[in-house]
Amino acid sequence: MSHSPLPTPHSPLLPGATIGVFGSGQLGRMLAMVAQRMGYRVHIFSPDRGSPAGQVADCEITADYTDQEAVRAFVQGVDAVTFEFENVPAHVAMIANEQGVPVRPGGRVLRTAQQRLREKTFFAEANLPTAPFAPVRSLADLENGLETIGSPAILKTAAYGYDGKGQVRIERAGDAQAAWHAIGKQDAILEDYVDFEREVSMVAARGANGAFVHYGLIENRHHNHILDVSIAPANVAKQTVAVAAQYTRMVMEKLDAVGVLCVEFFLCRDGRLLLNEMAPRPHNSGHLTIEAAVTSQFEQQLRAVCRLPLGSTELLRPAAMVNLLGDLWRDGEPDWAALAAFPTAKLHLYGKADARLGRKMGHITVTAKTADEALETALAARVALRR
């Protein structure tokens, strides 16, 4: 779809333009909602019909990412392309480039974030601190790696990991073979197990003109390797935030990333920050920016994709977010009526029909005078939902 006046590569895409999103989960859904609020059209490319993002978009194209004809046709119908998850095949960005449709973030960022070994190697080459790690392509690599790194350690598949999938903790060198089998004998990365004080993340955005903004540090608590709770602002020293911002900015500049990007950190007991991983898109820990910040991470992604100036990242109130996993549906539909007792709780549901254990179905955000109060209320609201 082309719009008048004809856009030059440097002019912003204004309301009325069509944004094409590859991926169709909750991140695409929340992006679509904010884009529509601002007068944009949203087309979703989804492997399945009736997806969380497809339900709210102007148009949902159902095809496989490997179907290059379908990708080409989809790209022809939009003014810019973005992603809501990073495991999209590289040809998607290439096809968009060929057709002169801007892709933000670009293929290089996706390629780096898609594979844990490439990602950690990129951090290391940029002199960004990480836990000691080693590439593992065979059982012998794993045994050698364990000798250098020591145990406990954690073995992660290099590709397609999320929410703790494809990870095993190794307690002692004798467990190497079992761990190698457990991850399906595929390319992997071995990491020192970090005895961190806390986990924190920085959600940031970079505009096409190089402008950089961030939301400060958010504290994240995981349960079974899945994000459970996020709290903003994290209770950390100002200097820690400044260091995280410097690292995050360096990541985005080195990859020339335009859009939203989140870096997950381990905060060590001695105050050092180690980079764990990055996501070149809005992040679960940034969902609370919808209620807590002047500009949400999703609006920020839209702004960057459209070459609009980035919005203010100012935090209006301390906030806490709790995830609602499929487990909450185990004994039937959660008790939504119980939320009536929590007037500050903001419910988000992603429109997923199948409430599998561990699947992210929705979240609740609470803003309050203090982060502690927001957390207490958000946790209580979630408990009240349980049947």
Binding site for ligand ADP (CB under 6 A): 131, 154, 161-164, 191, 193-194, 199, 222, 225, 264, 276-277
Name the token pair of 201.
């993340």
CB of 274 to ligand ADP, least distance (A): 8
SS3 content of the chain, % helix, strand, coil (to 5): 35, 25, 40
Q: Which does 199 bind (CB under 5 to 8 A by kind): Mg ion, ligand ADP, none?
A: ligand ADP
Q: Which is nearer to ligand ADP, 172 or 222 (CB)?
A: 222
Total of chain residues touching Mg ion, rule CB under 5 A: 1
Nearest-CA neighbor of 321 among 295, 290, 355, 280?
290
Q: Which is nearer to ligand ADP, 175 or 277 (CB)?
A: 277
The answer to whether residues 319 and 311 touch, using CB atoms and an 8 Å cutoff, is no
CB of 221 to ligand ADP, least distance (A): 9
Q: Which is nearer to Mg ion, 41 or 214 (CB)?
A: 214
CB of 264 to Mg ion, least distance (A): 5
Query: Three-state SS for 42?
Result: strand
Query: Could you give the CA distance from residue 147 to residue 193 in angstroms, rounded to a whole number?
Result: 14
CB of 93 to ligand ADP, least distance (A): 21
CB of 152 to ligand ADP, least distance (A): 8
Q: Which does 191 bind (CB under 5 to 8 A by kind): ligand ADP, Mg ion, none?
A: ligand ADP
Query: Could you give the CA distance from residue 28 to residue 259 in angstroms, rounded to a whole number?
Result: 14
CB of 97 to Mg ion, least distance (A): 29
Query: Could you give the CA distance from residue 51 to residue 63 in angstroms, rounded to a whole number?
Result: 12
The answer to whether residues 221 and 193 touch, using CB atoms and an 8 Å cutoff, is no
Q: Which stretch binds Mg ion (CB under 5 A): 99-107, 121-129, 215-223, 261-269?
A: 261-269
Q: Which does 197 bind (CB under 5 to 8 A by kind): Mg ion, ligand ADP, none?
A: none
CB of 248 to Mg ion, least distance (A): 15
Q: How far is CA 9 from CA 15, 304, 366, in A?
A: 16, 14, 40
The answer to whether residues 250 and 263 touch, using CB atoms and an 8 Å cutoff, is no
| Angle of the 297-305 helix axis to the 26-37 helix axis, nearest 10 | 70
CB of 306 to Mg ion, least distance (A): 28
DSSP assignment of 272-283 equals: -EEEEEEESS--
Nearest-CA neighbor of 232 among 274, 289, 163, 298?
289
Q: Which stretch binds Mg ion (CB under 5 A): 96-104, 112-120, 258-266, 337-345?
A: 258-266
- Residue 165's contacts (CB-CB under 8 Å, 6 or more residues apart) are none
Positions 262 through 321 that interact with Mg ion (CB under 5 A): 264
Q: Which is nearer to ligand ADP, 108 or 225 (CB)?
A: 225
Q: Which is nearer to ligand ADP, 141 or 163 (CB)?
A: 163
**Per-residue binder mask for Mg ion (CB under 5 A), 208-247, x = binder:** ----------------------------------------
Q: Which does 187 bind (CB under 5 to 8 A by kind): Mg ion, ligand ADP, none?
A: none
**Per-residue binder mask for Mg ion (CB under 5 A), 340-369, x = binder:** ------------------------------
Nearest-CA neighbor of 240 among 212, 207, 199, 211?
199
* Chain contacts with Mg ion (rule: CB under 5 A): 264
